[in-house]
Amino acid sequence: MQRVYVISLLVALLACQCLAQTAEGASQRKQNLRDCLDDLGSCDQSLLTSAQTSQLAGLRHDDNLLSCLNGYGECDRSLLSAPELTQVAEAARQRNLLACETLVGICNKSELPPAKAAAVEKIEKQQNQLDCETGSGPCNYSLLAAAETTRVRALERERNLLACETNQELCDKSLLTAAQAKSVADMQDKENFLACKTGDGYCDDSQLNPSEAKRVAEVKHERDILACQAAESPCETSSQGQEAMKSVAPDAR
């Protein structure tokens, strides 16, 4: 009886050990399958079933084909069939044509057929003319006809005059005529005078003539007087300001 009990116990221990090894092996195979799906270097093909190997090969082939078709990532053309190679070559031609026609990306004009190359050249000239006329991009004057160059130069002078009149950094005063330079200087003097009078904006006192400087000082004292009149508590003004206070009507104080 005791012998039977010992044999039964040994059988049970061996069964538990086998179950543990089986569970560990299943876990290892699952982890290996995840590694293979993630295309990790630790993938062990020998642990895959034939169905899994076939499915993974199909997935990798599709991933490679997609990379070849869209031009992103690594493309292994050696894994493609003849029809797939034709399809990939056509997709590459279409991407190149798109880059050439939109002027975005890398354009290889040598791969364009003559009719498409002529169309792309026309697009480039039109885009260059637009850039030249609007100043929105670099201008290649060599692509312009004589009449176009004349019009572009006139537009550039007009844009520069507007930039000078509105105090933009793009203003190049060397491009202004004498009359334009005087007009711009007068406009800037007026704006500076107003900035000094109102205390709003940048005021360059050195640009004021004696009459303007005197008027600015008077306006400043007038503002000081008004501020004192509006204050809750008395405030002191300069002697010049006090003289100005005397000139204010009594009912206004």
Q: In the chain, what are the domain boundaries?
A: 114-176, 178-253
The predicted structure's pLDDT at residue 82 = 92
Contact 48, 32 (CB under 8 A): yes
**pLDDT string in tens for the chain (253-residue length):** 566 555 665 555 555 555 555 666 667 777 777 778 776 567 777 777 888 878 888 888 898 899 999 888 889 999 899 999 999 999 999 999 999 999 888 999 999 999 999 999 999 999 999 999 999 899 999 999 999 999 999 999 999 999 998 888 889 999 999 999 999 988 888 888 888 988 888 888 888 888 888 888 888 888 888 888 877 666 665 554 445 444 444 443 3
Phi-psi region of 40 (alpha: psi -120 to 50; beta: other; left: phi over 0): beta
> At a CB cut-off of 8 Å and minimum separation 6, what does 136 contact?
130
What's phi and psi for 155, nearest 5 deg? Answer: -65, -35
The predicted structure's pLDDT at residue 244 = 42
Contact 162, 134 (CB under 8 A): no
The predicted structure's pLDDT at residue 188 = 87
Residue 33, SS3 per DSSP: helix
The predicted structure's pLDDT at residue 101 = 92
The predicted structure's pLDDT at residue 248 = 41
Contact 91, 69 (CB under 8 A): yes
> At a CB cut-off of 8 Å and minimum separation 6, what does 197 contact?
215, 216, 219
Residue 171, SS3 per DSSP: coil
The predicted structure's pLDDT at residue 3 = 61
